[in-house]
Amino acid sequence: MITALFRSIPIRLGASLALTGAIAFLSLVPGYPQEGDAKLVVMIGSVPSLLQNAMHVALYALLTVLWAAALVRFKRPILLAALFATGYGALLEFAQLFASGRYASLFDIGLNTAGVLIGVAVAASLTT
């Protein structure tokens, strides 16, 4: 049943878009809790750095796999997904320059890129 669901391109695209939006939210939420913030924002702002770094890698790996699956009808879907995820990560790092309590980081771009490379390996292994 679940395999049949993921054969559907609209479901793959929906999952890809949902994760893309979730990553944007997590990347742009204020970097430190402020008075009056929702509990979710406070929780996100207090995640330890090591866990944040692991999340960069894991989320960008998953993002790459999901977009590769969603773009399966295109030529070179894994390459397209990798280019999108890498560019998206860089764009969000740039956007953090304008988000309260956030800052752009080349280290984070490196973590995102490591996740993309893992995602490429996973996507490639799933297609062979």
Tokens at 12, concatenated: 């793959």
Asked whether the beta carbons of 113 and 89 are under 8 A apart, the reply is yes
Whether the pLDDT of residue 41 is over 80: the answer is no
User: How many domains does the structure of the chain reveal?
Assistant: 1
Contacts for 97 with CB less than 8 Å, ≥ 6 apart:
103, 104
pLDDT band of 29, cuts 50, 70, 90: confident
- Could you say which DSSP state residue 101 is in? T
Asked whether the beta carbons of 85 and 64 are under 8 A apart, the reply is yes
State residue 38's pLDDT score: 59
The pLDDT tens digits for 44-72 are: 666 778 888 899 999 999 999 999 999 99
Q: What is the pTM of this model?
A: 0.87
Tokens at 71, concatenated: 């773009």
Tokens at 38, concatenated: 């929702």
**Domain with 92 in it:** 2-127
The pLDDT tens digits for 71-125 are: 998 999 999 999 999 999 999 999 999 987 788 999 999 999 999 999 999 999 9
Q: Report d(CA 118, CA 96) in Å as an integer.
A: 24
State residue 42's pLDDT score: 58
Greatest C-alpha distance within the chain: 51
Report the candidate in 50, 49, 15, 58 with the shortest Cα–Cα distance to residue 31.
49
Asked whether the beta carbons of 81 and 68 are under 8 A apart, the reply is yes
